[in-house]
Amino acid sequence: SQTIHQWPATLVQPVGSPLSLECTVEGTSNPNLYWYRQAAGRGLQLLFYSVGIGQISSEVPQNLSASRPQDRQFILSSKKLLLSDSGFYLCAWNNGLAGGEQYFGPGTRLTVT
């Protein structure tokens, strides 16, 4: 069966510090991978998606970036965090087959102080 991991689970970082969140998927190959953010009281905003190694598409211009160094690894980064980067970050995957269901990881709670 497939599982998706995210770490860390929670993170408190000062403004201007760097960020690296990691997501890995097990039990599947060549998944589509996604990064979402849920800000307080808001829905799920798609930030980045990737259909293969090194292939990143950005949905929203911001100071975040994403990378996919390996087939089942997806990393969300920032060089300098802003207060507005606080939120709940979710990684998701799907296998690209008809249906479109995405399966989400447990999330990372980021607080920028």
Count of residues in contact with other proteins, rule CB under 8 A: 25
With beta carbons less than 8 A apart as the criterion, state whether 93 and 106 touch: no
Under rule CB under 8 A, which residues in 26-45 are in contact with other proteins?
Answer: 32, 34, 42-44
With beta carbons less than 8 A apart as the criterion, state whether 71 and 54 touch: no
Using the rule CB under 8 A, which residue among 54, 61, 69, 100 binds other proteins?
A: 100
* 13 touches other proteins (CB under 8 A): no
Beta-bridge mates of residue 33: 50, 93
Under rule CB under 8 A, which residues in 55-84 are in contact with other proteins?
Answer: 57
**Within 10 Å of residue 56's Cβ, how many Cβ atoms?**
17
* 98 touches other proteins (CB under 8 A): yes
Q: Which value, to the nearest 10 degrees, does the dihedral of the CA atoms of residues 12, 24, 64, 108 take?
A: -30
The span of 13-21, 65-73, 75-83, 98-106 binding other proteins (CB under 8 A) equals 98-106
The span of 13-21, 66-74, 75-83, 93-101 binding other proteins (CB under 8 A) equals 93-101
Residues in touch with other proteins (CB under 8 A)? 32, 34, 42-44, 46, 49, 51, 57, 88, 90, 92, 94, 96, 98-107, 109
